[in-house]
Structure 1
Amino acid sequence: MDETIAGTETAQIPVQRGEALLDAAVRYVEERHWDVFPGTWLEAVDGTQRCSCGEPACALPGAHPAREDWATGATGSASVVRRMWSTQPTASILLPTGRTFDAIDVPESAGFLALARIERMELTLGPVTCTPDRRMQFFVLPGAAAKLPDLVRTLGWPPASLDLVVFGEGTYVAAPPTRHGFRGAVQWACRPTPANRWLPDAEELVPPLAYACGRDVRR
């Protein structure tokens, strides 16, 4: 959907974006059985986009939890999702990690290098997102956070030397088409499809991801 179509009223844009967010949130629940919860949203203040949290210097404007008890509010019910987003249609879509998936987060440059390597190696690949801050997040089976340090050490890297992070239990990721302020929206580098319903284990993806991050370190 092109929000810049001539003749579109400014007041209509949040409604259209909200419909897209609601549709996406429902799909994640119904098609992938992911829990979701609404986060903050963007508001126009003096001609600029501000986070609904009210913090002028918000690090993740429009893309972080609106409540401290977000983990207990996450739901896998489509009817509850519809009710949540009817209250605030432009709320971001956030996915709690550590439940049905963890997410391995790497720099975008390393992520695209890893994607090419994963394809050559014919490894199983799950959904992958690109974020506006030039990061990529690879969805894997839960438990990756506990495995990562030993997996990286086995490959010969001190864990702290690589820009490779896992979002596991107690954390979350933003899902497309959530927007991060003026920086743009989260997008799929590899969309959720029936073909990637079964997620890979961290042991399958950490080697190519660590290799790609190591290449970044050596540059």
Structure 2
Amino acid sequence: MEETIAGTETAQIPKQRGESLQDIAVRYAEERHWDVFPGTWLEAADGVQRCSCGEPSCAVPGAHPAREDWATQATGSATVARRLWAKQPSASILLPTGRTFDAIDVPETSGFLALARMRRMELTLGPVTCTPDRRMQFFVLPGAAVKAPDLVRKLGWPLASLDLVVMGEGTYVAAPPTRFGARGAVQWACRPTPANRWLPDAEELISPLAYACGRDARR
């Protein structure tokens, strides 16, 4: 099975299932111009996959920053990315938000409901991830974290009542195919393609996302 990651404006470069994390991280930096940085990784201990951080109760084993200064480590250079993963080939692939994109994080049930509605509305979507802890992250233009509270209020929803989090500067998302312990791997609900190289503004997506989260909240 193949996934595709955008190559040029006119082509897609197929990614084989066996491709290394290093190669994928380099692709993100080189082809999407996303900053990347290596996170923790999974280590086998007594037949159990544990996080390299050494914390037995780690909430996201193998999928969080490995060092406190991760923000300064993040790079958009394919050469530097290749060097970073050469040091630890099993490291997860993490993408800082608030730089080339922000991310709107919602529960999976709300996310798929909103996704179906967005497609009916023929909205232009950016990449969307689906994580093993049943969350979805919609990539949008930077600045969403500042705008979102007012946008949601104008729609008549108090932001605190919705399970909707906008991830901007100082946070990060895990990129496919990063694994969360035994839960599975991050996947693309909407893959990066030449068509979604230009990201939507949060204002374009916030209405269907808030509606879907509000519907979940009422349940």
Q: Give the alignment's TM-score, normalised by structure 1.
A: 0.91
1:120-165, Cα deviation, whole Å (9 max, x unpaired):
1111100000000000000000000011111110000111000000
- In structure 1, what is the Cα distance between the partners aligned to 2:19 and 2:74? 19
Does structure 2 conserve the Cα–Cα contact (< 8 Å) formed by 1:37 and 1:73? yes
Please name the residue that 1:166 is paired with.
Answer: 166
- In structure 1, what is the Cα distance between the partners aligned to 2:26 and 2:79? 9
> Could you list the runs of 4 or more consecutive aligned residues of structure 1 that deviate by over 2 angstroms after TM superposition?
16-20
Q: Match of 1:75, as an amino acid?
A: T
Please name the residue that 2:36 is paired with.
Answer: 36
1:94 aligns with 2:94: yes
Q: CA deviation at 1:211?
A: 0.5
Please name the residue that 1:122 is paired with.
Answer: 122
Q: CA deviation at 1:22?
A: 1.2
Q: CA deviation at 1:20?
A: 2.5
Aligned residue for 1:138, secondary structure, equals strand
- In structure 2, what is the Cα distance between the partners aligned to 1:113 and 1:190? 14
1:65-120, Cα deviation, whole Å (9 max, x unpaired):
00000000001111111111111101000000000000000000000000111011
Does structure 2 conserve the Cα–Cα contact (< 8 Å) formed by 1:20 and 1:177? no
Aligned residue for 2:117, secondary structure, equals helix
Aligned residue for 1:56, secondary structure, equals coil
Please name the residue that 1:192 is paired with.
Answer: 192
- In structure 1, what is the Cα distance between the partners aligned to 2:64 and 2:215? 31
Aligned residue for 2:170, secondary structure, equals coil
- In structure 1, what is the Cα distance between the partners aligned to 2:42 and 2:211? 37
Please name the residue that 2:146 is paired with.
Answer: 146
- In structure 1, what is the Cα distance between the partners aligned to 2:23 and 2:208? 34
Please name the residue that 2:66 is paired with.
Answer: 66
Percent identity between the aligned chains?
86
- In structure 2, what is the Cα distance between the partners aligned to 1:60 and 1:153? 32
- In structure 2, what is the Cα distance between the partners aligned to 1:167 and 1:45? 33
Please name the residue that 2:4 is paired with.
Answer: none
Please name the residue that 1:133 is paired with.
Answer: 133
Aligned residue for 2:20, secondary structure, equals helix
Please name the residue that 1:206 is paired with.
Answer: 206
Aligned residue for 1:49, secondary structure, equals strand
Aligned residue for 1:146, secondary structure, equals helix
1:188-211, Cα deviation, whole Å (9 max, x unpaired):
000000000000000000000000
1:16-60, Cα deviation, whole Å (9 max, x unpaired):
999521121111111100000000000001110000000000011
- In structure 1, what is the Cα distance between the partners aligned to 2:118 and 2:161? 22
State how many pairs are aligned: 205
Please name the residue that 1:47 is paired with.
Answer: 47
Please name the residue that 1:107 is paired with.
Answer: 107
Aligned CA RMSD, in angstroms, stands at: 1.4
